C-alpha cells in the first residue's frame, strides 16, 4: 500500500471515463468523458456565449472559435489542470460540456473541479452524474479531497455539488471579483474517507 505521505502523482491518467446518468431525467443514459477534439470548438463557443455561462464566469459575449482553440491548447499544456469533454449523451461524439480538474496541492492530495453543461442538455442531471463519476475516478487515483467553489447565487452549480454528495463547508466573503463586483464563494468538498 502507498504511504499516505507520498504526494499525489500528477497528471492523472487522461483515459476516457464511462458510466451512466442515474437520477435527473436521464436514468440509465450512457455517460462518457473523453479528450477534446476539433469538432468540440463549435459547442464550446455556443456554451461559453450562453447568458448563464457568462453570468458566473469571466467569459465574454464575443467569445470566439479562436478563444475556444486557445483554451484547449492552454489546458493541454497546463501543468496544474486537466480537461475532459463530456460527450453529448443524445448525440455520441458531440459536445455536451466540460469538466476541469485543477491541482490544489500534491502533498494534501487535493484537487478542485470546474464545470459547464452545454445549454441544450442542462437540467437533466448530466453534471451531477459527471461530478459523481469523476470524483470516484479521482479517489481511485489517491486524491484525498475534491473541492468545488461556487457563487451562492449560482443555484444550479451549488445544487450539482450537494446532489453529488459534497458537503457545504462554508462561505468565503467577497472571495471573487466578477464583472466589476465582489461576490461570495461557497466551498463544497468530498473526502475519500467520507462515509
Q: Contact between 29 and ligand COA (CB under 6 A)?
A: no
Q: Contact between 154 and ligand COA (CB under 6 A)?
A: yes
Q: Contact between 163 and ligand COA (CB under 6 A)?
A: yes
Among 109, 124, 132, 190, binds ligand COA (CB under 6 A): 124
Q: Contact between 52 and ligand COA (CB under 6 A)?
A: yes
**57 beta partners:** none
Q: Contact between 160 and ligand COA (CB under 6 A)?
A: yes
Question: Is-contact 182 176, C-beta < 8 A?
Answer: yes
Question: In the bound complex, what is the minimum distance in angstroms from residue 2's beta carbon to ligand COA?
Answer: 31
Among 41, 56, 63, 68, binds ligand COA (CB under 6 A): 56
Q: Contact between 152 and ligand COA (CB under 6 A)?
A: no
Q: Which region among 71-79, 101-109, 126-134, 175-183 touches ligand COA (by CB under 6 A)?
A: 126-134
Among 155, 171, 172, 177, binds ligand COA (CB under 6 A): 155
Among 128, 135, 147, 187, binds ligand COA (CB under 6 A): 128
Output phi, psi for 14, to 5 deg.
Answer: -100, 25
Render the burial of 65-77: b for 16+ CB within 10 Å, e for the rest: eebbbebbeeeee
**Long-range residue pairs from 101-109, CB within 8 A, at least 24 positions apart, any chain:** 101/12, 101/134, 101/138, 103/8, 103/10, 104/145, 104/147, 106/7, 106/8, 106/10, 107/7, 107/8, 108/144, 108/145, 109/7, 109/8, 109/142, 109/143, 109/144, 109/145
Among 44, 103, 111, 126, binds ligand COA (CB under 6 A): 126
Question: In the bound complex, what is the minimum distance in angstroms from residue 157's beta carbon to ligand COA?
Answer: 4
Question: Is-contact 85 47, C-beta < 8 A?
Answer: no
Amino acid at each position: 500500500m502507498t504511504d499516505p505521505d507520498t504526494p499525489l502523482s500528477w497528471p492523472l491518467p487522461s483515459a476516457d471515463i464511462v458510466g451512466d446518468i442515474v437520477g435527473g431525467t436521464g436514468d440509465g443514459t450512457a455517460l462518457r468523458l473523453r479528450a477534446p477534439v476539433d469538432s468540440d470548438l463549435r459547442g464550446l463557443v455556443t456554451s461559453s456565449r450562453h447568458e448563464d455561462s457568462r453570468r458566473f464566469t469571466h467569459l465574454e459575449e464575443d467569445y470566439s472559435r479562436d478563444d475556444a482553440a486557445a483554451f484547449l491548447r492552454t489546458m493541454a499544456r497546463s501543468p496544474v489542470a486537466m480537461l475532459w469533454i463530456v460527450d453529448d449523451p443524445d448525440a455520441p461524439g458531440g459536445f455536451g460540456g466540460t469538466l476541469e480538474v485543477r491541482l490544489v496541492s500534491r502533498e494534501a492530495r487535493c484537487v478542485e473541479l470546474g464545470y459547464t453543461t452545454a445549454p441544450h442538455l442542462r437540467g437533466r442531471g448530466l453534471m451531477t452524474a459527471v461530478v459523481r463519476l469523476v470524483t470516484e475516478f479521482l479517489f481511485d487515483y489517491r486524491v484525498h479531497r475534491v473541492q468545488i467553489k461556487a457563487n451562492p447565487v449560482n443555484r444550479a452549480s451549488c445544487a450539482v455539488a450537494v446532489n453529488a454528495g459534497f458537503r457545504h463547508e462554508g462561505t468565503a466573503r467577497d472571495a471573487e471579483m466578477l464583472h466589476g463586483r465582489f461576490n461570495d464563494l461557497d466551498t463544497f468538498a468530498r473526502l475519500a474517507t467520507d462515509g
